[in-house]
């Protein structure tokens, strides 16, 4: 039986490899999983997220960590539309400081645009955009990588729209309903849950994932609007966003440096020298990003291995050498740790014995 297909491309950014996302979705996923009698802790531990770490306010996770846990949770619960339940279980505090800003915004449109602007601080795992159109005020959710596992992709879009509807009702009025909702994934067997949650026409197999707000709702004043509080919270969010950009810049520079150096890996001492920094300062900055140099190296190697496995002419010995592993056995151990399968199964090939040298 062939393994799961590898991504056909990689964005090569910190969004996929490094830990930069507040783990709000995973926290609520854990709560919903409890209702199924499923303890997610072993899955979280497997990707380096123990109970103590999950309670940390500064914790950040990577798309790789989040996707791995989501994929297995969907499999183990047998719930194809787990994202709807996770999104509907949330409340405004789930989004942290951005959620407080939404409450204080002047109108629902202002709240939406604030959420879009600071989406990287709220734990979003889709890419949000919004703008007024002829149909109404349109909110779109795009996937961060079109090669995401299909089950994870469905979960993320469902969670995204379900949380928006749930939080809008909590903040603007329970009678809220979108004008329409469109999903890019195929029509599910049972659409009852979608109709029940969104209370509006829902279309599947659409060109994109989007939610349309009526102009009346978009212009509606928020019950908790407070311009003074809103301005104060926006100032704090701008400061956090600037700090976040600095962190992402650091992570991406390190990833590029490692990727360009493979199969050799620059030492931590060398990286500190390149950044005109002391080892202690660089280690502290990485800790503030919720990661370590070793984790970044591991992520870059993983991407390199996945890219090379897409090339059928490349032997495992070649892959091990180019990704900086000591031998094929070390490569096998790493792939099993990442994916739970052998390199041959992940590649989906059985025609060449593992480790055979190419003539």
Alpha-carbon span 141 to 124, nearest angstrom: 10
The strands making up 127-133's β-sheet, listed across from edge to edge, are 127-133, 136-142, 210-213, 180-182, 202-203
Q: What is the mean pLDDT of residues 301-325?
A: 88
Share above pLDDT 90 across residues of the chain, in percent, rounded to a whole number = 53
Residue-level pLDDT at 145? 66
- Residue 128: helix, strand or coil by DSSP? strand
Residue-level pLDDT at 7? 36
Confidence of residue 31 (pLDDT cuts 50, 70, 90): very high
In 273-336, DSSP assigns E strands to none
Positive or negative: CA dihedral 297, 303, 309, 313: negative
Inter-CA distances, 159 with 139, 167, 182, Å: 14, 12, 14
Alpha-carbon span 289 to 200, nearest angstrom: 40
Environment class of residue 312 by beta-carbon count within 10 Å: exposed (0-12), middle (13-18) or buried (19+)?
exposed
Confidence of residue 177 (pLDDT cuts 50, 70, 90): very high
Residue-level pLDDT at 57? 67
Share above pLDDT 70 across residues of the chain, in percent, rounded to a whole number = 87
């Amino acid at each position: 039986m062939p393994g799961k297909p590898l991504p056909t491309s990689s964005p090569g950014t910190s969004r996929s490899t490094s830990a930069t996302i507040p783990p709000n979705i995973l926290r609520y996923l854990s709560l919903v999983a409890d209702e199924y009698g499923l303890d997610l802790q072993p899955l979280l531990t497997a990707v380096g997220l123990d109970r103590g770490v999950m309670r940390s306010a500064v914790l950040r996770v990577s798309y790789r960590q989040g996707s791995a846990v989501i994929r297995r949770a969907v499999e183990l619960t047998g719930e194809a539309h787990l994202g709807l339940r996770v999104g509907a279980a949330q409340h405004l505090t789930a989004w942290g400081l951005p959620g407080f800003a939404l409450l204080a915004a002047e109108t629902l449109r202002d709240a939406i645009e604030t959420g879009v602007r600071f989406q990287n601080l709220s734990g979003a795992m889709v890419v949000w955009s919004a703008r007024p159109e002829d149909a109404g005020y349109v909110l779109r959710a795009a996937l961060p990588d079109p090669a995401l596992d299909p089950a994870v992709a469905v979960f993320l879009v469902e969670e995204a729209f379900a949380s928006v509807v749930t939080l809008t009702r909590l903040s603007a009025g329970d009678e809220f309903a979108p004008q329409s909702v469109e999903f890019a994934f195929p029509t599910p067997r049972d659409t009852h849950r979608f109709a029940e949650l969104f209370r509006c026409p829902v279309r599947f197999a659409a060109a994109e994932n989007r939610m349309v707000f009526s102009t009346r709702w978009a212009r509606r004043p928020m019950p908790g609007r407070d311009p003074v509080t809103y301005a104060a919270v926006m100032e704090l969010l701008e400061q956090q966003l600037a700090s976040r950009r600095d962190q992402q810049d650091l992570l991406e520079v390190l990833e590029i440096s490692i990727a360009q150096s493979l199969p050799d890996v620059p030492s931590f001492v060398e990286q500190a020298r390149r950044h005109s920094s002391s080892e202690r300062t660089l280690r502290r900055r990485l800790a503030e990003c919720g990661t370590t140099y070793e984790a970044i190296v591991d992520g870059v190697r993983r991407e390199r291995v996945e890219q090379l496995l897409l090339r059928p002419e490349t032997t495992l010995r070649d892959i091990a050498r180019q990704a900086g592993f000591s031998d094929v056995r070390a490569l096998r151990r790493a792939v099993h740790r990442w994916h739970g399968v052998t390199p041959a199964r992940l590649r989906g090939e059985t025609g060449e014995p593992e480790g055979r040298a190419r003539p």
